């Protein structure tokens, strides 16, 4: 593989985290870190975000990335719920939902139920992939992994994304849905995703910046 091809694929791979990075305040989607010359305040903010995901040092970085790569991340929980709901009737699901005391658990269950047919095969794997690339990039930015390690991981995950999604619209829709499934503060409105979802807003900002309805980067 020549250098030009590597750079093209690396840029495509970095864009797998574009929505999450944009929502987090990244300044450059295509630089390795996504943050140009971050100051101490920015680094502290990013490190707090990594801490919230269980990342504190190099060893925990490798552990968390390994879990997500091997489908032990949020998608695993989504798919386990989906398999249970496959045996439910509408009445069974409503009984189950009414028995939940936790509002977040109820909201997440509804996200699975609504999308159980559409996402039976892929689940929210796009969300996992986006999170994997984002955490890799932020871990590099905070000095937990090297640029070579980041590049290796991004180039490795890209063909996995390509094998499961046909285009950026399908992929980013999956990322937004996964974000809604995993974020306690987001609620459902008439069983639909709220436009106030920060990743939904980031997606529209990106489209407006490009002046097109389709993000320009192609798999």
With vertex at residue 171, the alpha carbon angle to CA 166 and CA 175, rounded to the nearest 5 degrees, is: 165
pLDDT of residue 28: 80
Q: d(Cα 71, Cα 24) in Å, to the nearest integer?
A: 24
pLDDT of residue 188: 57
pLDDT greater than 90 at residue 190:
no
- Give the per-residue pLDDT at 216: 46
Greater model confidence, 107 or 142? 142
pLDDT at 102: 86
Largest Cα span, the chain: 57
Q: Are 157 and 13 in contact (CB under 8 A)?
A: yes
Write down the pTM of the prediction: 0.88
Backbone angles phi, psi at 189, to 5 degrees: -125, 110
Mean pLDDT of 204-215: 57
Q: How large is the average pLDDT for residues 27-42?
A: 87
Average the pLDDT over 200-204 and give the result: 69
- Structural tokens at position 105: 């658990």
Coil, strand, or helix at residue 193?
strand
Local structure of residue 133 (DSSP, 8 states): H
**What is d(CA 40, CA 134) in angstroms, rounded to the nearest whole number?**
19
SS3 state at 137: helix
Q: Each residue of 89-119: pLDDT tens digit? A: 999 999 999 999 888 888 899 999 999 999 9
pLDDT at residue 218, as a whole number: 58
Mean pLDDT of the chain: 87
- For residue 213, pLDDT beyond 50: no
């Amino acid at each position: 593989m020549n250098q030009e091809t590597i750079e093209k694929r690396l840029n495509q791979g970095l864009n797998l985290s574009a929505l999450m990075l944009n929502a987090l305040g990244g300044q450059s989607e295509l630089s390795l870190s996504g943050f140009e010359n971050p100051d101490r305040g920015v680094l502290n903010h990013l490190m707090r975000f990594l801490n919230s995901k269980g990342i504190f040092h190099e060893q925990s970085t490798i552990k968390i990335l390994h879990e997500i790569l091997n489908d032990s991340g949020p998608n695993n929980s989504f798919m386990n719920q989906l398999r249970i709901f496959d045996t439910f009737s509408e009445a069974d699901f409503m009984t189950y939902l009414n028995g939940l005391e936790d509002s977040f658990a109820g909201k997440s269950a509804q996200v699975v139920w609504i999308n159980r047919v559409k996402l039976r095969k892929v689940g929210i794997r796009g969300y996992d992939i986006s999170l994997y690339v984002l955490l890799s990039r932020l871990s590099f930015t905070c000095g937990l992994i090297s640029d070579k390690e980041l590049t290796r991981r991004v180039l490795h995950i890209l063909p996995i994304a390509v094998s499961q999604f046909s285009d950026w619209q399908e992929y980013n829709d999956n990322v937004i849905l996964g974000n809604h499934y995993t974020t306690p503060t987001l609620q459902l409105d008439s069983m639909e995703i709220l436009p106030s979802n920060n990743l939904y807003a980031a997606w529209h900002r990106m489209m407006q910046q490009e002046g097109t309805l389709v993000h320009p980067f192609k798999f």
